[in-house]
Structure 1
């Protein structure tokens, strides 16, 4: 932790400030050390904010939200599987991981690197007098709101993946000796800090930005992350109310007349108002030096468009879609390979099948939400969705059902999502209990949000609701165990709601030892 917080962060934030200064023609303002007495202008605060955004794509085109985070959110669930050659992915997919898994270690570092950048940026911005330097207090609070939103997002991921984690919300210059080897803070304390950050952010962030800055955090993004947090906590009324606040903003789902769900994920669709917050992967102005991500190359196989095929999806998942569901078009039901053959989903899984030698039966399907240019580039410029409006509608529908059981508003919200994909309405009379509508909601969520990092959290929340909090792994076990290559790898003695703390952290943080991973690995 000392290395992550003190050395890496000071260097990375400073490096970003220097880079930004040079790009803006300020070559005379270069610094060999991080000097708060020199970085005194509002533009330095803006540069610090950009440095925190850049941490969303930590470690090149694969880091954090550019790739590896989704390995932890998708592989252990029941939709995405992996290829045998991806050792770390196989461990995650088959629930055989341990503290030495490099992806677990890497995501931990990425999360806490962004938290550290946010802490350093917050400290710097607070010391800048924006008004006396030609700016405004409003812009200062906006900058603070942005970094506090990003810190809350990082802590959301940290607590979703590990539960109790160290809570540090101050710059390294204020560290005590104890802070260099921080203890684990209760998850509830961290969530309280997140709520404080997000409340400040929703009060101080703007509703919108100019098109070039579409990926910056808005008040709607802060409210949306609060909805997600309240849902995780089972605070249904707070979640429903906050979702309604988001619905009062200028968001909407992309309609069928506009191209619907398929066009939503087109590479050229960069600022649709269904996107509440995204990782902007672009070489356009305002991309915060986040030039690409690994989703396109990882999502599809080599014989389709020279991809790596690291996110294969089970054929069973294809079979859950009706033929007239537009969301099925975001999966490779049938395609022509680079070599002239046709790969087709077998008829027993809902595909059209075919016959050899011209047609080969698919062993997996692949998602097309992250389109990739047909060349040898290792990454693409498509945005990565972090928060979108359809999720807000579905979370309000779920919260209302948990509060009062089947109700017309929940039905209407679900139908809005279904109709956009070409499906018929469901009706209130179809559901005679809270549990039956809950199952419908999670079925729709699975089909709407595949490969958007939501399935693992959904399975855990579903289990909590279905068991009245007594067994959060109820649905996880029900859905995941049957798709394991070896079902015996599933253990009732392992708490799959959390990952093991990384080996690198156990070795560097003297407050921790291997005993804290008891019950987190088999």
Structure 2
């Protein structure tokens, strides 16, 4: 943290300018806060764009372009890892520690975005938009965008670590104490998140032009608020925020007539009404270091399309899909390898099987949500979904069930997601509150695999199923049987929270190693 803010004191405002379609985002750094250079509404817009750029933290593996999903997916029960990925193995097998480089990388990325948001907020506030030919409405929109992004960063930070430093001001206003910020309670940070998102709901537009699809809308702010309220168990508030998104009429599920979920993830699908908020990627030459993601190369194995295969998926996950479920098409059930063989899921896991030498039985399956056919580089070109409409529908169904048990409305919301993938509707009369909760979480598992939702879902599911007494109930039930060594799990460790990075503890004098007690072996 201290290192980040020392950098910021030397480079107070980092903004990104759009330099033509072919150049993408390009950073420009100003060494001083010079109002004569940064006094126009376009400067405010540039600061906002610079904050968005922090979502990918230089592309490739940065933040939402890759590493965040290592923390959200590996410790859960769908994705595992290869034996060649040491950092991934630590996360996957629950042996992670404060020195894990991915944990540190995500921490740094999150606080970079918070820093940029704080700097952008101060800059926008200093600009007289009306006197420079713009409107106060645009100024409030720009403030809403950076406050949404700050809220998203703090949402991730609290999801992963709980208590974290809370910094809501620009570096120009720092005191010496701010260079070594103490931990704020998760409750206090969540209050700040709610304040930012409430402001964003009131000042962001409901939509933008297709070329600006990746900018935050009021619907995105409502959807993120709903996600936070679900985590808190504030069921009525969560249901209401979801309804606010639904009532806009701005979003819809991508229907089967347009290719359904598979088509939504296609690299050519740059703008879609199911997208609420995305990390926008690029198919331009050299995009890896500017505006891309690493999912394509990591999601698939070498023998399929020369991928790294860092996100293998357990065969047990493939087996839970009905054969008529279109979502199963987003997994490698059967494919021809680069070596002329057929790779097939064994019959006992729902595949068609086969015999040697022409057929090899798969030991894992791989997800096809992030295609990169024959693309041996790091650049993933399709948008990465951060918030999408199906999540809002299932979140409202979950909240309504926790309030009143299975209802017609809740069943209809779940049915919308199921029928889009070719499955039957569900009837509330066939379920109890408990079994309908289980149905919702299993549907979420099939719908959102490799979208960074499973770890949180397991924790929330455990909390609800245990009446708030055991957040790790479902985590143990689903994850431990898949560990290579069940003894890896330690009942004395709180796997709901990650250890704080060792680099942060060493550089921030407000922290000590004792803050990691009970977070790792």
Query: Corresponding residue for 2:339?
Result: 339
**How far 1:427 moved relative to its partner?**
1.5
Query: 1:335 is paired with a residue of what secondary structure?
Result: strand
d(CA) in 2 for partners of 1:188, 1:370: 35
Instruction: Give 1:14 shift.
Output: 2.9
1:467 aligns to 2:462 (yes or no): no
1:29-56 Cα offsets, whole Å, 9 max, x none, are 9855443453111111111001100000
Q: Secondary structure at the residue paired with 2:16? A: helix
Aligned to 2:515: 516
Cα deviation, residue 428, structure 1: 1.6
The Cα of 1:154 is off from its aligned counterpart by 0.2
Residues 299 and 310, structure 1, Cα contact 8 Å, conserved in 2: yes
Q: 1:35 to 1:383 in 2, by over 3 A?
A: same
| Segment drifting more, 452-461 vs 1-10 | 1-10
Residue of structure 1 equivalent to 2:357: 357
In structure 2, the residue matched to 1:324 is 324
Q: Which residue of 2 aligns with 1:375?
A: 375
C-alpha separation in 2, matches of 1:444 and 1:91: 28
Residues 407 and 48 of structure 1: is their aligned pair in 2 closer, same or farther, counting only changes over 3 Å?
same
2:140 is aligned to: 141
Report the Cα distance in structure 2 between the residues aligned to 1:485 and 1:134, rounded to whole angstroms: 63
Which residue number in structure 2 is paired with residue 486 of structure 1?
Answer: 485
SS in 2 for 1:14: strand
- Mapped partners of 2:10, 2:266: distance in 1: 37
C-alpha offsets along residues 149-171 of structure 1, whole Å, 9 cap, x if unaligned? Answer: 00000000000000000000000
Alignment-derived partner of residue 71 in structure 1:
70
Counterpart of 1:414?
414
SS of alignment partner, residue 57 of structure 1: coil
1:235 equivalent to 2:268? Answer no
2:404 pairs with 1:401: no
Tell me the equivalent position of 1:498.
Answer: 497
The equivalent residue for 1:157 is: 156
**Counterpart contact for 2:121–2:143, Cα < 8 Å:** yes
* 1:43 maps to 2:11: no
- Please report how far the alpha carbon of residue 206 of structure 1 lies from its aligned counterpart in structure 2 after TM superposition: 0.7
Distance of 2:456 and 2:235 partners within structure 1 = 16
- Superposed counterparts of 1:302-317, under 5 Å: 302-317=302-317
Which residue pairs with 1:259 in the alignment?
259
- Give me the whole-angstrom Cα distance separating, in 1, the residues matched to 2:64 and 2:386: 8
Match of 1:455 in 2: 454
Aligned pair 1:428/2:425, yes or no?
Answer: no
Compare 88-97 and 34-43 and name the one that shifted more. 34-43
Task: Tell me the alpha carbon deviations over residues 73-129 of structure 1, each in whole angstroms, 9 at most, x when there is no partner.
Answer: 000000000000000000000000100000000000000000000000000000001
Distance in 1, Cα, partners of 2:265 & 2:375: 19
Distance (Å, rounded) in 2 between the aligned partners of 1:31 and 1:94: 44
- Trace 1:124-139 onto structure 2 (pairs within 5 A): 124-139=123-138
TM-superposed deviation, 1:515: 0.4
Which stretch shows the higher mean deviation, 34-43 or 366-375? 34-43
Kept in 1, the 8 Å contact 2:12–2:31? The answer is no
Change in CA separation of 1:18 and 1:215 when aligned onto 2, cut-off 3 Å? closer
How many Å separate the matches in 2 of 1:417 and 1:463? 23
Partner-residue secondary structure (3-state), 2:55:
helix
Separation (CA, whole Å) in 1 of partners of 2:146 and 2:116: 8
SS at match of 1:387: strand
Q: Which residue in 1 is equivalent to 2:212?
A: 213
Structure-2 residue corresponding to 1:92: 91
TM-score by length of 1: 0.96
**Is contact 1:344-1:360 (8 Å) kept?**
yes
Q: Post-superposition shift, 1:491?
A: 0.6
Q: Return the TM-score normalized by structure 2.
A: 0.96
Q: Secondary structure at the match of 1:277?
A: strand
Q: CA RMSD in A?
A: 2.1
Gaps of at least 5 residues in structure 2 are none
The alpha-carbon deviation at position 328 of structure 1 amounts to: 0.2
The question of whether the paired residues in 2 share the 8 Å contact of 1:327 and 1:421 is answered with yes
Structure 1 position 117 matched with structure 2 position 128: no
Superposed CA deviations along residues 465-501 of structure 1, whole A, max 9, x for unmatched, are: 0111111001111111000000101011000110000
Taking the aligned partners of 1:253 and 1:351, their CA distance within structure 2 comes to 28
Pairs aligned (count) = 516
Find the aligned partners of 1:465 and 1:406 in 2 and give their Cα distance. Answer: 15
CA distance in 2, matches of 1:83, 1:288: 23
Matched position secondary structure for 2:226: helix
